[in-house]
Chain A
Amino acid sequence: MTLLELTDVSRRLRDGARELIVLDGVNFDVHAGELVSVYGERYSGKSTFVKLAAGLEVAEAGTVCFDGEDLARLSIDGRARLRRRGGLAVAICDSGPLSSSQPVVEYVALPLTGDGLTLGESEGLARPVLERLGASALSHLRVDQLSLSDRLRVELARALAREPRLLLVDEPGVLPGPSERRELLRLLRACSESGIAVVIASSDMDMLRGMGRFLTLTDGRLRSTDSRRRVIQFPGARAAGGAGRSQ
């Protein structure tokens, strides 16, 4: 079942007098339980790709559908609802320090309160997730005092507390040691094995090793090895389809 589908998605940004093509006709889909890794250098459009997929930004052209629903047709509140309890969750791990002085448990629980739950009830849901991530000890720390690796765990807990069907993770490569790396990869793989679709975007290919289908994003274009697989399955496809560039 296709959970997320991007069709001919383009995004342009202004850089002074220049227009930058951040994403150029991107096509992408991900299915339930699938593990997908997206590699791109810094400023390759990776974060924009993740934000569009999460409905945090809207594309100028093309469609982004989650569970068959066109995100551009939803209001800002509608998209936020989808991210809160609608199955679509995003963890952005490299967007600078958090300015909030909230305790961790409240930070993780707060997005759950929008659907009639009290903060206390939401915190009750947040605690087991923090425990699962080995982050119980962080519960009462202020989020603006977290280290980068703790911040990553807290962002993931905040995303997983929403019981998502699709988890988007942007730039998880801020880990200090091999044990933390192993722990994170084990967790993401376990998410996928439990039926959650996981999309990880990173500028570190080693972070993406063994993380399922591999795509690259360079100069606004998303490339995958799908074209080659299709050519192998349908020998006439390349001749009929032209250059065979995959997006």
Chain B
Amino acid sequence: VEARLLRERTQAVGSIEAGEGPSDLAIAHRGSLRRLVLAALVERPAHGYDLTNRLNRRMGAMLQTDSRRVYEVLEALEKEGLASSVEEQAAAAPHRRRRVYSPTEAGRSARSGWLGERQPLPLGSADIHALVAFSDPSEAPQVLERLEEYELDCMEMQERTTEENLERASWTSRMIGVTRAAVSEQLQAELRWITRVRREIEEYLAQAQ
């Protein structure tokens, strides 16, 4: 189930890269990338190539991107006043110059706002995973709160995922059934993941005391 979830997400991200028309999921991933880039900048100022490597390493197959997309997001963040940049000489190659980006105060407060923001997440959104991936221990209460909201979103989605027509076993009825089953399988994987994160955080906090 988890492998399928990852594959579907990777395919969804792939469709963004290929420049296909935006699906809801693609739009959600674009929003995720913007938030991810900002979170990574707040963690440490960087140039686009370094940021891309850091994002891909941290998120794994959940969200793979390239430096072209990351530079686009950096330029957009700079235009919005959430990031600023300076040109620096690369230490390893003095003849090459590169642009290093940092968050502005507005960028830092947008990142804090993101942590406290309650918004219904579509199933498979990388936002919640990004929030966890770029969090630090001081943010544990907010992360736990967001996880709880996401858990309730998943539970409500399960309540809304109704059964196919049980009276008929036609082809269409069966195919509707397996399509809805896919949603339940993904929701189950998300609920298991939420439990795993909660346990990791609780164990970390208990050991840190």
Contacts and interface: CB of A to CB of B under 8 A. Distances in A.
Contacts of B148: 245
Contacts of B191: 39, 205, 216, 218
A178 B155 contact: no
B195 interface: yes
Interface in B125-183: 148, 151-152, 155-156, 158-159, 161-163, 166-167, 169, 174, 177, 180-181
B185 A205 contact: yes
Contact of B188 (A182, A205, A210, A215): A205
A225 B159 contact: yes
Contact of A182 (B151, B159, B169, B198): B169
A31 interface: no
A186 interface: yes
Interface in A204-247: 204-206, 208-216, 218-219, 223-225, 227-228, 245
A199 to B, nearest CB: 15
A22 to B, nearest CB: 15
Contacts of B198: 219
Nearest to B174: A178
Contacts of A178: 169, 174, 177
Contacts of B184: 205-206, 208-209
B199 interface: yes
A134 B145 CA distance: 48
B156 A225 contact: yes
A215 B155 CA distance: 7
Contacts of B169: 178-179, 182
B69 to A, nearest CB: 34
Contact of B162 (A182, A206, A210, A218): A210
Counting contact residues on chain A (CB < 8 A from B), the size range is 20 to 34
Question: What 10 pairs across the A-B complex have the smallest Cβ distances?
Answer: A210-B163, A205-B188, A206-B184, A210-B162, A186-B166, A205-B184, A214-B159, A206-B181, A218-B195, A214-B158
B99 interface: no
A209 B152 contact: no
Point out which of A182, A185, A228 has the most chain B C-beta atoms below 10 A from its C-beta: A182
B192 interface: yes
B174 A224 contact: no
Interface of B: 148, 151-152, 155-156, 158-159, 161-163, 166-167, 169, 174, 177, 180-181, 184-185, 187-188, 191-192, 195, 198-199
Nearest to B149: A228
B151 to A, nearest CB: 7
Contacts, number: 66
Interface of A: 39, 41, 178-179, 182, 185-186, 189, 204-206, 208-216, 218-219, 223-225, 227-228, 245
A8 B185 CA distance: 31
Given A186-B167, A206-B185, A219 B199 contact: yes
A225 B152 contact: yes
Contacts of B152: 223, 225, 227-228
Contacts of A179: 169
Contacts of A209: 158, 161-163, 180-181, 184
Nearest to A207: B184
B158 A223 contact: no
A215 B199 CA distance: 19
B194 to A, nearest CB: 8
B45 to A, nearest CB: 36
Nearest to B189: A205
Point out which of B159, B161, B169, B188 has the most chain A C-beta atoms below 10 A from its C-beta: B159
Contacts of A216: 151, 155, 191
Nearest to B151: A223
Contacts of A218: 191, 195
B195 to A, nearest CB: 5
A218 B195 CA distance: 7
Contact of B166 (A182, A205, A206, A208): A182
Given A178-B169, A223-B155, 20 more contacts: A39-B191, A178-B177, A182-B166, A185-B166, A186-B166, A208-B158, A209-B158, A209-B161, A209-B162, A210-B161, A214-B158, A215-B155, A216-B155, A216-B191, A218-B191, A218-B195, A219-B195, A223-B151, A225-B152, A228-B152
